[in-house]
Amino acid sequence: MPASPKKPFPLRLDPALYAALERVAAADFRSVNAEIEVLLREALGRRGIRVEQSEPPRRGRPKKGE
């Protein structure tokens, strides 16, 4: 199985902040992790730093010959 292209790392958050993230993520139909990524990209964008989104992993069975 190929390694995940995302970099895992521990993140300690204030419980109230995490609860707010859970509410916002649920309203946007996202996981908390995905919501954090969106918020970080928005914050970096406001600072003029553009981060290209990585190619998502391909889903399903590989085609014959791959």
Give the per-residue pLDDT at 66.
62
pLDDT tens for 5-52 read 788 889 999 999 999 999 999 999 999 999 999 999 999 999 999 988
Kindly tell me if the per-residue pLDDT of 59 is higher than 70: yes
Write down the pTM of the prediction.
Answer: 0.73
Pairwise pLDDT comparison (64 vs 29), residue with the higher score? 29
Give the per-residue pLDDT at 13.
95
DSSP string over 19-30? HHHHHHHHHTT-
| C-alpha 9, offset from chain centre | 12
Pairwise pLDDT comparison (11 vs 56), residue with the higher score? 11
